[in-house]
Structure 1
Amino acid sequence: MKISARNAMKGTVKSVVSGMVTAEVVIEVAPGLEVSAVITKSSAENLGLKVGDEAYAVVKASDVMVAVD
């Protein structure tokens, strides 16, 4: 896989919850660290995502915000 995004985190699919149009995908990228994404249901189906599969969480954004309490 080659991709222009700089932030591609390999992990394990923890859950795929499909709705009528979208699917929420949770990927564990490190022990106790999960990234979730909402993608189209058809994209999830085309990728064949299943719990336990290896997948990448790819983040492409022009801004990253930082906050503290």
Structure 2
Amino acid sequence: MKFSARNQVKGTIKAIETGAVNSEVVIEIAQGVEVVSIITNSSVESLGLEVGKQAYAVIKASNVMVAVD
């Protein structure tokens, strides 16, 4: 598996909340650290996603915002 995105984080699927068209997929990448993605229900099905399985969060963004208090 090769991607142009440099941010690839492996984790475990913690939850999948299925809606009418899209699903919210929660991937735990470290204890107490989660990444959430909204993908189509057909993508969940074609990838065979299930709670407890390992998956990658692949993050590709055109910008990253930084903030401080």
TM-score, scaled relative to structure 1: 0.96
The CA deviation at 1:49 is 0.6
Answering whether residue 7 of structure 2 is matched by residue 31 of structure 1, we say: no
Q: How does 1:10-49 map to 2 (within 5 A)?
A: 10-49=10-49
The CA deviation at 1:19 is 0.6
Which runs of no fewer than 5 residues in structure 1 stay unpaired? Answer: none
The CA deviation at 1:68 is 1.8
Q: What is the aligned-residue identity percentage? A: 64
In structure 2, the partner of 1:8 is: 8
The CA deviation at 1:67 is 1.2
Aligned length: 69
In structure 1, the partner of 2:57 is: 57
**Distance (Å, rounded) in 2 between the aligned partners of 1:41 and 1:66:** 32
TM-score, scaled relative to structure 2: 0.96
The CA deviation at 1:26 is 0.2
**Distance (Å, rounded) in 2 between the aligned partners of 1:25 and 1:68:** 28
**Distance (Å, rounded) in 1 between the aligned partners of 2:57 and 2:19:** 20
Which runs of no fewer than 5 residues in structure 2 stay unpaired? Answer: none
